[in-house]
């Protein structure tokens, strides 16, 4: 089998695993090295455009794809309709060739017929898509389309869906403890890597114009930068950290905000970073080590448990607490396209309960006059301002100091919400 067909076969196998297990795509793609960029493009693209592709498949066949042929149709249609630089011949023939190693002769013939039908009717289908319902046109579930239309209006919902379907660029933040912003930009230029200042925070974050493996960016092994969206800086700015503060990062992994906090402390004060997930805590420790940040105590533990209170009793109460809670992630669908398919009201309600518990526990660990910042990467009111208003109605000793809502098409960042709360009395 030619390499071009083999790479498509690898992509289809990964798509099949995702369809069967719902495993996070980033875990699926961990071991992919050969033809990685092409395979990632197809896998992530199929996940992003699945509903639209399903609609196209239905228009092109009276038969029902089976478990073996369906992933090949997803991959083939994605190449024909969404990959502008893909040759039609390669999209059809190499995908059909790849299917022969898994599908029966009849199955491969079915894949060939559907893809050729789709190609023949492509312009007609594209015009029909322009007139179709938003969920089909932009490949989002109706539950999110309906919620966002209610919360933001139709025009902003369309803009959000369009934003979510744009391939994300890599954004990095220089490690200012080791290199200046200007010097890092100059180093990228010397290595022939096109980069521009990010419009949200042009003196802190850099957007790479073209894709590149993270480890191939100059300064990776030296810890000169961290891959990080500018939205992560907002909760840390709201904390108003001063050198000497005792700070708790209560849901810290993988460590982007932890690193920002550590920089602001300037090696004066104390920072404790906690996360409940052992694998993510390992990633947090690895990131801190690579960046040579040493003024952080990392604990693997549940931020809601009494046992944790004992482990941090020598330093609490805290001057500042960051609570970046687990959430539905609807503000980061551009980077994590599978999020749209995992959203449910049941899951939302479970998360709201957990978020409230985390907020209750964090509040008890805060000094009087201290500041607690609650943040999410969600756009859902139940996890954002609505939750905070409900919580403040039960906790009159706290006041809202400041709040920020990030709407991705406007800020050109990941979406999210952050609010600073000050404890006025015990």
Alpha-carbon span 25 to 271, nearest angstrom: 32
Dig out the tokens for 102 from the structure. Answer: 């898994």
Name the helix (H) or strand (E) containing 188. helix 181-190
Cα separation, 20 vs 88, in Å, equals 29
Count the Cβ atoms, other than its own, within 10 Å of residue 6: 16
> Alpha carbon 357 to chain centroid distance?
24
Triad 142, 377, 365: Cα angle to 5°: 135
End-to-end CA distance of the chain: 70
**CA angle 365–366–367, rounded 5-degree value:** 125
Distance CA 339, CA 355 (A): 18
Active site residues: 377
Tokens representing 57? 């498949």
What is the secondary structure of 66-116 as a DSSP string? -TTHHHHHHHHHHHHHH-TT--HHHHHHHHHHHHTTTS-HHHHHHHHHHHH
Chain mean position to CA 311: 31
Tell me the three state secondary structure of residue 347: helix
User: What is the distance between the alpha carbons of residues 113 and 116, in angstroms, rounded to a whole number?
Assistant: 5
Whole-number Å distance between alpha carbons of 15 and 17: 5
If residue 366 lies in a helix (H) or strand (E), which one and from where to where? strand 366-376
**Can you list the pairs that 105-113 forms with residues at least 24 positions away whose Cβ atoms lie under 8 Å?**
107/66, 107/68, 107/69, 110/61, 110/63, 110/65, 110/69, 111/69, 111/72, 111/73, 111/76, 113/61
């Amino acid at each position: 089998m030619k390499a071009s067909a083999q790479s498509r076969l690898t992509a289809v196998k990964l798509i099949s695993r995702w369809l069967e297990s719902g495993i996070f795509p980033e875990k699926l793609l961990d071991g992919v090295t050969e033809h990685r960029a092409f395979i990632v493009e197809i896998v992530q693209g199929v996940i992003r455009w699945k509903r639209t592709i399903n609609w196209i498949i239905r228009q092109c066949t009276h038969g029902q794809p089976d478990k073996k042929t369906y992933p090949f149709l997803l991959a083939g249609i994605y190449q024909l309709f969404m990959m502008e630089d893909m040759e039609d011949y390669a999209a059809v023939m190499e995908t059909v060739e790849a299917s022969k190693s898994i599908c029966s002769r009849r199955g491969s013939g079915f894949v060939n017929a559907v893809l050729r039908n789709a190609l023949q009717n492509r312009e007609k289908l594209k015009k029909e898509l322009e007139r179709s319902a938003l969920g089909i046109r932009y490949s989002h579930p109706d539950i999110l389309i309906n919620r966002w239309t209610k919360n933001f209006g139709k025009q902003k919902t369309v803009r959000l869906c369009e934003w979510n379907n744009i391939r994300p660029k890599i954004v990095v933040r220089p490690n200012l403890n080791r290199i200046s912003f200007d010097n890092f930009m100059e180093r990228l230029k010397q290595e022939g890597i096109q980069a521009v200042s990010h419009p949200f925070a042009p003196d802190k974050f850099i957007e790479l114009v073209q894709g590149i493996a993270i480890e191939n960016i100059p300064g990776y092994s030296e810890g000169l930068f961290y891959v990080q969206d500018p939205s992560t800086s907002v909760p840390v700015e709201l904390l108003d950290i001063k050198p000497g503060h005792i700070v708790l990062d209560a849901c810290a992994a993988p460590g982007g905000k932890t690193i920002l906090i550590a920089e602001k402390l300037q090696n004066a004060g104390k920072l404790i970073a906690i996360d409940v997930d052992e694998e993510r805590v390992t990633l947090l420790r690895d990131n801190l080590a690579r960046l040579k940040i040493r003024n952080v105590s990392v604990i693997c533990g549940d931020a809601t448990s009494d046992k944790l209170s004992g482990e941090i009793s020598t330093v609490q109460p805290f001057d500042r607490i960051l609570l970046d809670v687990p959430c539905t992630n609807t503000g980061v669908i551009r980077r994590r396209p599978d999020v749209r398919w995992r959203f449910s009201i049941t899951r939302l309600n479970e998360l709201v309960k957990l978020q409230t518990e985390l907020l209750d526990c964090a509040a008890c660990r805060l000094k009087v006059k201290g500041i607690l910042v609650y943040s999410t990467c969600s756009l859902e009111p139940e996890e954002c301002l609505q939750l905070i208003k409900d919580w403040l109605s039960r906790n009159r000793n706290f006041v809202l100091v400041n709040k920020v809502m990030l709407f991705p098409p406007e800020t050109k960042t990941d979406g999210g919400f952050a609010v600073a709360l000050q404890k006025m009395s015990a």
